[in-house]
Amino acid sequence: MQGKITMGSKERIQRIKEETRANILDAALEIVKEDGWQSLSMRKIADKIEYTAPIIYEYFANKEGILLELTRLGNVLLLKDFKAVQAKHKTPEKQLEAMWIAYWDFAFSHKELYQLMFGVDMICCDLTKSLPEAEAGKKMFYDLISTIMTESEPTEEIVCRKYYTFWSIIHGLISINLVRRGSTTDEMNQHILRDAIQGIIKAIND
């Protein structure tokens, strides 16, 4: 009899443990949204989830572990956006354009996550490599670029080059807007963004 109850309580305990883990991540992101990455500290997170700091170390190895998990979650979100907008378009060209615009939108609707993921105005954790979620998004771009260039039989290296050309200009443009806010107007950004994307797509078969 007690056995059954114990089993149930064990599950309950594991459930609230997962909840606490999620609470830690939520609290962290909330603090960052309020006062920026600089202001994030273990004790503040603990305060927010109404525990003391050492508790966090039962859920994450250290502070960097929290950051790593947040970048992972960011990549999951971004990937979801990619898939959603890709499904909305037929031609690879339109899909590619839509995905870069989704990338752009993500940077501003999840400003803090973007800063963490791509190191704008932020201490970038070195462990970002070997995140499979990040690779998945990259692969989507590779595939699309390859498809568009199919008649010219592109090498992996050329596809890679096109991808980074895209990434550079869009990340650079986002950087201006996130770090030096207000240097460019919204209409300007839209102009630069569309020009750049379509320009590169047009030049993709060079």
Partner DNA sequence: TAAATAATCTAACAGTGTTAAGCAAATGTA
Partner DNA sequence: TACATTTGCTTAACACTGTTAGATTATTTA
Footprint of DNA on this chain (CB under 7 A)?
A: 2, 6, 9-10, 13, 17, 40-44, 50-55, 57-58, 62-64
Q: Which is nearer to its own copies, 8 or 199 (CB)?
A: 199
- What tokens were used for 100? 């870069």
Q: How far is the CB of 182 from its own copies (least distance, A)?
A: 9
> Is residue 145 at the binding interface for its own copies, with CB under 8 A as the rule?
no
Q: How far is CA 182 from CA 37, 73, 148, 173, in A?
A: 20, 28, 35, 12
Q: How far is the CB of 171 from its own copies (least distance, A)?
A: 4
The DSSP call for residue 125 is -
**Residue 190 binding target from its own copies, DNA, none, CB below 5 to 8 Å by type:** none
Q: How far is the CB of 46 from DNA (least distance, A)?
A: 7
The DSSP call for residue 90 is S
Q: Which residues contact 75 (CB under 8 A, 6 or more apart)?
A: 117, 131, 133, 134, 136, 137
Which amino acid does the sequence have at 50?
A: E
Q: How many residues bind its own copies (CB under 8 A)?
A: 36
Q: How many Å apart are CA 162 and CA 168, to the nearest integer? A: 10
CA 30 to chain CA centroid, nearest Å: 16
Q: Which stretch binds its own copies (CB under 8 A): 44-52, 56-64, 106-114, 191-199?
A: 191-199
Which residues contribute to the site for its own copies (CB under 8 A)? 38, 118-124, 128-129, 157, 160-161, 164-165, 167-173, 175-176, 179-180, 183-184, 188, 191-192, 195-196, 199, 203, 206
